[in-house]
Amino acid sequence: MEKFFLLLLTLISVIFAQVPPPPLSPPIFYLYATAQPPDINNLEEGNLNSVNLTSTFYYYLFFSCPADQNNVNPCVFNFSSIYFKAGSYFFTICNQTVRPNLCFHVVEDGETKLFLAKDIFLYNSDILDENGKSINKLDLLTLGYGVNISKGQGWQFFPKNEKRYSITFYKPMLTYTLSNFFCKVNGTIKDIDDYNTFGIPFNSFYFSIALPNGSSCSLSQKTHSLEPYFCSQDFPQDLLNYLRSRYSFSYANIPPNSFSLDFIFSFPLKREYSPYKIRFNVAPYYTENERAFTIESVTLLCSTNLVNYTLAGEGKVYRDNIEILATASEPSRNLQPSSFSTDFSLNILVIVNPNTSNQKNLFLNWTCLNSACTQTDFQTNIASNTILDKYESFSDKEIRTLIKLNTSSICPNGEKDNILIKAKGGPSSAGFEDKEIELYSGPCSGKIKFLAEIYKDKQKDGTYLDFELDGSEQNKEQFIIIKIKNLQNTNKVNINLNSKLFDGTLKYSSFSPTVASLPAIFHFNTFYDLKSLTVFLTPVGDDQTIFREFNFILEKPVLAIDKVKIAGSPLSVEQSQDLEKNLRLYLGERNEVDIDFVFLVPYKIKGYDFQTSLVPLYGGKCELSSVSKNADFASIKVRFKEKGCILKVRGVAGTAEDKSLSDWVSVKIYSKGVFVAQSPDSFCSSNRILSSQYFKFFLIAFSSLIVIIAIAFMLGSFTSNPRLLEWSKREIIETIILSLLIASIGFFLTLSCEKYFDISSIMNLFGLPQTKTISIHTPILDFAQQTMYNIIERVHSTIIILRRDIAYFHILGSAYTYSSSIGELILQSFISYFSGININNAAGAYNFIGVYNFLLNLNNFYLFNILVHYFLLFFLSSASGLIVFLLPIGLFFRCLPFVKNVGSALIAIGIGFYVLFPMAYVVYGLFLNSTAISVSLHCLVFSSDELCKSFNIYTQKQTSQSINVADVNKFISDKYLYMAELVEVGSFTEQTFPYPDAIFNYEENKKTLQPVYPVDKKSFSPNLSIYFGLSALNFLLAFFIPTIILVVVLGFVRDLASILGGDIDVSKLLYLA
Amino acid sequence: MLKNIVFVALIFIHVLFAQSSPPPCFFNSLAVSISIAISIIVLLLLVGHLLNFQQLKFIALKEVESLAVLIFFLIFVLFSYNFISQKLSWIINFDPAGWGSRFSGDSIAEDVLKKMAAKGSNITIQQKAIVLVEENDRLLEILLKKAISFSESTAIEASKSSYITFYSTGFGTSTCSLYSIFRGPINLLFNALALGSFAIYFTKSILVVFGQSIICLLFPIGLFLAFFNLTRKAGIALISLCLSFYFIFPFSIALFTDYYNANYSKQDSILNQKTDLENVFPNLDLYLRNPNQNIPPNVNKNRWGVSIESYRCDPNYYNDSTIPDNVSSIMDILLSNLNKVLNFVIVKSIFIMLLSLSLTISFSSALAHALGLEIDLSILARLT
């Protein structure tokens, strides 16, 4: 029975051990296919934007094998490492058992082989004969995995042995909508003569890209760059620049008589370019020496991400009827099995005269359960003959309905009536909410009314285009084409279509011709200047185009540079050379640039770390203004009003000036160096006493223990003392356990600084998502130390600001004194009579000192706490820390009967703090570095931050994908919090501080009696809530969670001590917190 | 035996009703933990069997028992965390329509409130708590702005002085320095607001941090630790804290805040309506910030014909008789309203946070004891 039980347990263990943990990577889907067999002659295109794997579909795979000299080599296809990955699931088996599976068969010579696919990509290859003529274009579309086509390896081609492979994808249970393509093109060329080495390939070929709006661009490769060869004007400049910036090439392993070149570029495709159709052509190009070479292969590799389910539709108002097309399709969110229900609902509501008491409506409702759709509700108070035609189609992941309504019955009064059409629907599964879109809103008929306006919204930091199209002449379909010219600065283009109409119906309408009903309002939110914009209105069937082009901007654009990167070393007193590079402000066509940034520049002189001090800027004609506060930090505002202005910069070391002759303005900055705290050395970089000498100590203690036990045993035997014998026997067993334990722990003890067991191991163990903000190959102890140090820096930064502000308030409260001498000089009567009023217009600053002191005390306490933990880490957890002492001594004490508990406690404390304490901080650090957490914490305090606009605190989810990990990183490491020091609350003017004019010598008095205004005459108040929030955050980071970590570690210590035979009350140690 | 069966049956019934599945991120650590733990047990059993070492076998069987309890506990939490959150949320039935106006302009907040008001909504207790705390935050923000404005204005008034010289001989008066008596109450106000704001931010941080990371990060790690004999105590401590802060803390916050709103919302009226306090703040504010606004009717004019609002201090040496009246009337208004403000800050922000924290830690202590942890987690209550 016992054996049976043992066998059963072993079996269970084996089964469990073999279950691979599902990966936690974000959903990535690599598939580029259509559900139809491909048209071989026209393979370069496909609707890559959306692939609906709703049924069994086919993939044809054609390989051709060009002949080699002997005509004997067969085609060799190496599929061994192919598998298929969708979302979070691996589809590793071809049985539809537990999870939806996707696999394919390859039929080779009548024998069916089963393959699993991974990283499927389009493969495009032209095989050319000796004359450069294409002999076979069959092998345009293949499926493969990372296979380079080259002679002698992997794939070989011989035309006489041509084989065809068909791959069948069995019905998957998923529907995906794809977006965000990342493409990479790989290619090889060959037949380069021996003496043509580097020079030839670099100007030897070009390739072209065609976009769905008809624009295309060809690029040719120059020596070290990719240059546009021929590009149509409407090809997006930003895409071109992006391609050029991301282009790279490599060459290696050049075999004889050939040359291999990889040209790789990748670009994220944004919504504007969708539906995405892109074509890559690579053609041979004769060199100066008239030596041809041949392109052997081109590979296009694309990937994409999944997006949520869609509710789409459009309403079109024709002369006689209205067409409504609405679609709800299944989401693929999280790819959880529960979300694969086929439960859908779709409602359509048509309201005639929505704003009047004469309102009529028509309500249609479909519910689809397991692909069977029923019309569950139908309510109308419109004439029964309204619906002319109705067509519904559905699949297991989609419901689609097309309705035609009779306009004569619902719009009897013609253009006076309004129609409002809405659609609502989505999956009925748990976790999804209905989306609602407005398909059409407007009159039954009308004339085209065209209003447009481009304006700049400073607060939202974007250029907006509003235009309104009101009705159409003939109630026909309208085409709206919007072209944006002169988009500059290609790093970020964020164009959101935010309109009632386009929100649901037309997702990708900015660069592609789209069909729209009227009226429509577009909001273009870009980070760039919209310099010109063209809007075409083209009625269907009519060649006449209503055209209007805007080349003006109503308000001059203001480029807001939120962050100026400062490169190089700033000047010290001794070294005053190269700060010109530090500030480069691109003015472009603009006349005015606002810059607001925080200035703190670290640099090194002779190995010592410095940072800049007060760096005020003063302007000449440019009317620069500065807000600078004290020696550590300065907030500067610069305004350039014209080109070529003279900039004066005054620093501690002197004054410099520069004249900007071009668009680029160089600013020289002088600064004085002050010491900045140096980062601590890594704990791991200390002498590795533990790894080298740990076993030595252990052996000494262990030998003494054995000696003691042996002596006790001998004494016991000699004196026949049973107690001694009993004791020594018990000790022998415990010693064996202990030695095993310590020998195994000794292995772990050396791990904390090892490269082969870094935090990536821990992340893999728990399946944590990778984040870009941390280097995953950091040793454990280093990462724990870095986590603590980041928190220390953060709390310390808060303290620095508080200290600085307290001093600032003292100075502010006393320095800016309004002295209004309301003199009445009656010089005519020779009587000298003066009276006046003094006002300290910043006296309120004093009042804040109290609360700042309060916050300072709190933060000092938190800093103290986290420092205690930091020193604990150093003292107990570092390689040369206390464990070197604790373990051998504990071991030794453990051997002695009276101090056994002490020994166990020492060992437990040593191991607990050495192993679990840094590990807990590693987890804490990973936790802080996870994007969701850091964004949440950041946005709690800085809710008005740009980063947080897409963050929803209530559902704790990002409302868009736009949050950048690099931005999030600022939360941990950057001095980001300095941005929110003061808020402008008003201004001091002569109206707010009126003073009566002097009767005599008015002008002079005015000059001398001008109150000492703060900078810009503005009144600032401290942004107290930010400081409160920061302090609360510091409490959480530096006090609350570290204390919890301590509790967890002490739990471990308690456990270990009891196992070792000592019972200690470690809860007293909690008072460390 | 019967107890155990009932326990297991209850869990299964619960899982059946809850109908939600754990996210896939959880399975990773679960698979790792279970496989390692079972491997260790099997190894112990094997060695014990081969060496005929009964104690090893005993330890292994004991481990099986502990693991079984843990796994059932795990199933309970995993399949029902969402269910429990929503159930807890239904207990608290506050009327969000009543204070929708405070969130006007915030479309996301309005959306959440709308969903809360809808019958049978899926709002979890964590979301509900955050909305309630967020509302407190907004009220506090309004208070803070008023207090800053008041503080600055009175300080400027207090700094006024006047002088007169006649043939190089003269004197100065600083009658307006009487206004500096406001500094004491204002400091008190600021400190109270700091504490209140501190409590609110801390509450929000806890809600967000534990709400986000409980299922996919903290709980799996605790579970992983709890699966092994050596680290079981550490894991149990972590699990208890996590679950308490995930369920009990937001529930307690929402419950008490809602109770306060239902029974003492009149105290908040100072924040909703024009009151004496608000009349004082903007009027002094007006003087500094917005010169173009119409001067209120109760103005007097000084010697040079400049309009001065009645609460402003006229520092002229000959005109000091009106100052005590102004000061005493402002002080009356300030103190009577300060009382309400402190009540709001201390009770609604600080006390509820402390109470919730104590409850949560007590609960986690009890849970940890139930799961077999000897360390008294309630020592964490010192954090409060």
Looking at residue B317, the DSSP 8-state letter turns out to be T
Which structure tokens are listed for A178? 């794809």
- CB within 8 Å: B233 and A1051: yes
For the ranges A335-339, A708-712, A1029-1033, B58-62, which has the lowest average pLDDT? A335-339
Q: Which two tokens stand for residue B89?
A: 């949320």
Q: Confirm if A926 and A784 have CB atoms less than 8 A apart.
A: no
In sign, the C-alpha dihedral spanning A232, A237, A243, A244 is: positive
Helices A1024-1035 and A844-872 meet at what angle, rounded to 10? 20
Note the pLDDT of residue A500.
30
The listed range with the strongest mean pLDDT (A139-153, A476-490, A491-505) is: A476-490
CA count, 13 A, side-chain hemisphere, B311: 27
Contacts A1021 to B, Cβ<8 Å = 148-149, 152
Q: Which helix (H) or strand (E) holds A159?
A: strand A158-169
* Contact state of B28 with A1035 under an 8 Å Cβ cutoff: no
- Across the interface, which of A338, A1040, A1051 has its CB nearest the CB of B383? A1040
Under an 8 A CB cutoff, do B383 and A952 touch?
A: no
Predicted confidence band of residue A386 (pLDDT cuts 50, 70, 90): confident
When pLDDT is averaged across residues A285-306 and rounded to a whole number, the result is 39
Distance (Å, whole) CA A1036 – CA A862: 9
A375: left (phi over 0), alpha (psi -120 to 50) or beta: beta
Chain B residues closer than 8 Å to A1072 by CB:
none
Tokens found for residue B309: 């609002």
B204 contacts in A (CB within 8 Å)? 940, 953
In the sheet with A546-550, reading across from the earlier edge strand, the strands are A514-516, A478-485, A532-539, A546-550
Which residue of A846, A1054, A1056 is in closest CB contact with B155? A846
Q: Which residues of B touch A1011 (CB under 8 A)?
A: none
The answer to whether B205 contacts A937, with C-beta atoms less than 8 Å apart, is yes
Q: How far is CA B125 from CA A51, B88, B240, in A?
A: 38, 6, 18
- Complete DSSP assignment for A239-262: HHHHHHHH-EEE-----TT----E
Q: Is the pLDDT of residue A182 over 80?
A: no
Q: Do B41 and A916 touch (CB under 8 A)?
A: no
Amino acid identity, residue A1055? D
In angstroms, what is the C-alpha Rg of chain B? 31
Please report residues of A whose CB lies closer than 8 A to that of B231.
916, 1052, 1055
Backbone angles phi, psi at B163, to 5 degrees: -145, 160
pLDDT bracket for residue A857 (50, 70, 90) = very high
Measure in Å the smallest separation between the Cα of A13 and chain B Cα atoms: 6
Cα–Cα distance between A940 and B211 in angstroms, integer?
Answer: 14
Q: φ and ψ at B25, to 5 degrees?
A: -60, -25
Residue A579 near residue A573, CB atoms below 8 Å: no
Q: Do A933 and B166 touch (CB under 8 A)?
A: no
Instruction: Write the DSSP symbol of residue A961.
Output: S
State what percent of residues in chain A have pLDDT above 90.
1
Q: Hey, are the CB atoms on A986 and B224 less than 8 Å from each other?
A: no
Q: Look at residue A769 in the predicted model and tell me its pLDDT.
A: 58
Beta bridge partners of A157: none
pLDDT tier, A1058 (very low <50, low <70, confident <90, very high otherwise): confident
Tens-place pLDDT, residues A73-104: 333 332 322 223 222 222 222 332 222 223 34
Chain A with chain B: Cβ pairs closer than 8 A? 301
d(C-alpha A822, C-alpha B304), whole Å: 10
CB contact under 8 A, A767 and B25: yes
A475–chain B nearest CA distance, Å? 35
Q: Which residues of A touch B155 (CB under 8 A)?
A: 840, 843-847
Q: Which residue of A has its CA nearest to B187?
A: A850
Closest CA to A572 of A630, A627, A613, A632: A613
**Cβ-defined contact of A1055 to B233 (cutoff 8 Å):** yes
Task: Please state, in angstroms and rounded to a whole number, the distance separating the CA atoms of residues B23 and B215.
Answer: 8
Interface with A, mutate which of B15, B17, B21, B25 (most A CBs under 10 A): B25
Angstrom distance (rounded) from CA A977 to CA A966:
16
Amino acid at A817: T
pLDDT value for A1049: 83
Residues 6 or more apart whose Cβ sits within 8 Å of residue B219? B26, B77, B239, B242, B243
Where do runs of H (alpha helix) occur along A777-913? 780-815, 844-872, 883-895, 900-911
Q: What is the pTM of this model?
A: 0.51
From chain A, the residues in CB contact with B227 under 8 A are none
**Confidence category of residue A859, pLDDT binned at 50, 70, 90:** very high
Measured between alpha carbons, how far is A410 from A387 in angstroms, rounded to an integer?
A: 10
Provide Rg for chain A, Cα atoms: 37
Which among A23, A766, A845 has CB closest to B220?
A: A766
Helix (H) or strand (E) holding B208: helix B183-213
Neighboring chain A residues of B350 at a CB cutoff of 8 Å: none
Q: Are B238 and B367 in contact (CB under 8 A)?
A: no
- Interface mutation target, options A745, A977, A1024, A1043, chain B, most CBs of B under 10 Å: A1024
Of A4-8, A524-528, B212-216, the range with the lowest mean pLDDT is: A524-528
User: From the candidates B205, B377, B384, which should be mutated to test the interface with A, based on the most A CB atoms within 10 A?
Assistant: B205
Q: Best interface-test mutation with A: which of B111, B374, B377, B378 has the largest number of A CBs within 10 A?
A: B374
Question: Parallel, antiparallel, or unpaired: how do β-strands A418-427 and A634-640 relate?
Answer: unpaired
Q: What is the pLDDT of residue B224?
A: 73
- Among candidates A415, A412, A390, which has minimal Cα distance to A403? A390
* Average of per-residue pLDDT across A879-905: 74
Answer yes or no: is pLDDT of A860 > 90.
yes
For residue B10, the one-letter residue type is L
Beta carbons of A61 and A43 less than 8 angstroms apart: no
Sign of CA dihedral A754, A760, A766, A771: positive
A688 and A753 Cβ atoms separated by less than 8 Å: yes
pLDDT tens-digit map of B95-138 = 655 555 555 556 666 666 666 666 556 677 887 888 888 877 87
Q: How are the residues of chain A apportioned to helix, strand and coil, as percentages rounded to the nearest 5?
A: 30, 30, 40
Write down the residue that tokens 């060009």 correspond to: A66
Q: Which residue of B has its CA nearest to A926?
A: B217
Q: Which residue of B has its CA nearest to A769?
A: B25
**Cα A842 to Cα A813, A1050, B158, distances in angstroms:** 5, 52, 11
Dihedral sign from CA coordinates of A805, A808, A814, A816: negative
Average pLDDT of every residue of chain A: 52
Ranges of residues in chain B whose predicted pLDDT is under 70: 1-30, 78, 93-122, 167-168, 212-217, 230, 264-326, 328-329, 332-333, 336-337, 340, 372-384
Q: State the nearest Cα–Cα gap between B265 and chain A, in angstroms.
A: 23
Identify the pLDDT of residue A377: 60
**Read out DSSP for A425-472?**
EEE-STT---EEEEEEEEESS----EEEEEEEETTTTEEEEEEEE---
Is A1055 close to B229, i.e. CB distance below 8 A?
yes
* A-chain residues near B108 (CB < 8 A): 952-954, 959
CA atoms within 13 A on the CB side of A364: 23
Of A921 and A1015, which is predicted with more confidence? A921
**Long-range pairs of B366-374 with CB within 8 A, sequence gap ≥ 24:** B367/B240, B367/B243, B367/B244, B368/B236, B368/B237, B368/B240, B371/B73, B371/B236, B371/B239, B371/B240, B372/B66, B372/B232, B372/B233, B372/B236, B373/A1051, B373/B233, B373/B236, B373/B237, B373/B240, B374/A1054, B374/B233
A940 vs B149, B191, B204: nearest CB: B204
Residues 6+ apart with CB under 8 A from B321: none
- Cα gap A114→A111, rounded to integer Å: 10
Inter-residue contact A322 to A421 (CB < 8 Å): yes
Average confidence (pLDDT) over A814-833: 50
| Lowest mean pLDDT across A38-47, A142-151, A635-644, B129-138 | A142-151
Write down the pLDDT at residue A211. Answer: 58
Minimum CA–CA partner of A11 in chain B? B42
